[in-house]
């Protein structure tokens, strides 16, 4: 069958992504053919487009998150059935398409009560928050945490999740408008990093004690200063590098407070079918109960993915972004 997809024939800026017709075959053993009803956008898509993460093949069809309807299945598929509403997040890339083939074991069935647009935009970000706060460092009542980029897609979900766990949330943001958005989603203290020194503010808020954990997806611009925000034996969780590659890191910087540094990824935390389903179920429960709202603040036709990437790189977006295929 023929459909349209975003393809990049070389690495580079947003302009390398083109809306092209492709041919998709029948699903092979273990595969499902899905018709996308929504596709999510994440900063990791930019990493693949720019070559920071190597593309598995060229041309590259970006995207690691989507939702849709199963239209056909290959031999041996037991996880889903034709007609199921499904969603996914993680490898393999290829979400920026109207239809796609995908290993069926990477799909989860979307429960009633969650629409396709919400499912498409929340899986990667929501399951990222689940593993960060439930497994990498388990947030507990009374914790005070620091979360960078608190008004982003992951950040707004994280603020709500942490509040539900009884934590006090400190979040860094890029503007007063983003500060208001983060506060509306549970962030107790916002720091506009373009104006204030976040290390000094964290020390003020915690009376000099520091925080037990910093969640940092910004990377190069924040990593070393984040170390200064930690209490003794605190944990720095670096799960992204939106400001650029980290470069060399002196592990001796952790010695002062006997600190921990970890670089987790969703792909590892959901590598097994059991972990994937458990993470998805936890997210579904949070959303269905109303504990976590998914703020879809940006919508684009899929053919306009290049503009969406420009907006994301220029920090013009907040919350989650969804493409209409």
Average pLDDT, stretch 239-260?
84
Q: Which of 218, 246, 263 is the last residue before a domain boundary? A: 263
280: confidence class by pLDDT, cuts 50, 70, 90 = very high
pLDDT (0 to 100) of residue 250: 87
Q: Which of 218, 234, 263 is the last residue before a domain boundary? A: 263
Average pLDDT, stretch 72-101?
97
Strands, E assignment, 110-159: 144-147
**CATH number of 234's domain:** 3.40.50.720
Pairing of strands 144-147, 168-173: parallel
Q: Are residues 280 and 253 in the same domain?
A: no
Do 36 and 87 form a contact (C-beta atoms < 8 A)?
no
274: confidence class by pLDDT, cuts 50, 70, 90 = very high
pLDDT (0 to 100) of residue 285: 98
Q: Does residue 132 lie in a domain region? A: no
Q: Are residues 52 and 86 in the same domain?
A: yes
What is the rounded distance in angstroms from the CA atom of residue 35 to the CA atom of residue 40?
14
Structure tokens at 87: 């969603």
Q: Which residue has the higher pLDDT, 12 or 222?
A: 12
Q: Are residues 210 and 289 in the same domain?
A: no
* b (16+ CB within 10 A) / e for 39-66: bbbbbbbbbbbbeeeebeeebbbbbbbb
- pLDDT tops 90 at residue 215: yes
295: confidence class by pLDDT, cuts 50, 70, 90 = confident
Nearest to 227 by CA among 208, 204, 199: 199
Q: Does residue 131 lie in a domain region? A: no
Structure tokens at 183: 């506060």
Q: Are residues 183 and 204 in the same domain?
A: yes
Structure tokens at 95: 């979400």
- pLDDT tops 80 at residue 136: yes
315: confidence class by pLDDT, cuts 50, 70, 90 = confident
């Amino acid at each position: 069958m023929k459909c349209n997809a975003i393809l990049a024939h070389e690495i580079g800026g947003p302009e390398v992504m083109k809306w092209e017709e492709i041919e998709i075959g029948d699903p092979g053993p273990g595969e499902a053919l899905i018709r996308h009803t929504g596709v999510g956008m994440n900063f990791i898509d930019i990493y693949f487009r720019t070559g920071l993460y190597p593309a598995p093949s060229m041309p590259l069809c970006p995207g690691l998150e989507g939702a849709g309807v199963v239209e056909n299945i290959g031999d041996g598929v037991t996880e889903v059935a034709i007609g199921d509403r499904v969603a996914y997040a993680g490898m393999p890339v290829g979400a920026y398409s109207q239809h796609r083939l995908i290993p069926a074991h990477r799909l989860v069935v979307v429960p009633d009560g969650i629409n396709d647009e919400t499912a498409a935009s929340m899986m990667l970000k929501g399951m990222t928050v689940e593993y960060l706060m439930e497994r990498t460092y388990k947030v507990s009542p009374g914790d005070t945490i620091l979360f960078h980029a608190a008004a982003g897609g992951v950040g707004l979900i994280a603020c709500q999740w942490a509040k539900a766990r009884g934590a006090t949330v400190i979040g860094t943001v890029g503007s007063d408008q983003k500060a208001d958005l983060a506060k509306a989603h549970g962030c107790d203290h916002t720091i506009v990093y373009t104006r204030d020194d976040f290390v000094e503010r964290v020390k003020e808020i915690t009376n000099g004690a520091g925080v037990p954990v910093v969640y940092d997806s910004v990377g190069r611009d924040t990593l070393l200063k984040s170390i200064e925000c930690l209490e003794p034996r605190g944990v720095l969780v670096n799960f992204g590098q939106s400001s650029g590659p980290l470069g060399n890191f002196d592990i001796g910087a952790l010695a002062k407070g006997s600190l921990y540094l970890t670089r987790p990824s969703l792909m590892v935390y959901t590598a097994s079918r059991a972990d994937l389903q458990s993470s998805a179920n936890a997210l579904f429960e949070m959303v269905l109960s109303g504990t976590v709202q998914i703020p879809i603040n940006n919508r684009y036709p899929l053919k306009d993915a290049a503009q969406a990437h420009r907006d994301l790189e220029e920090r013009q977006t907040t919350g989650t972004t969804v493409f209409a295929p």
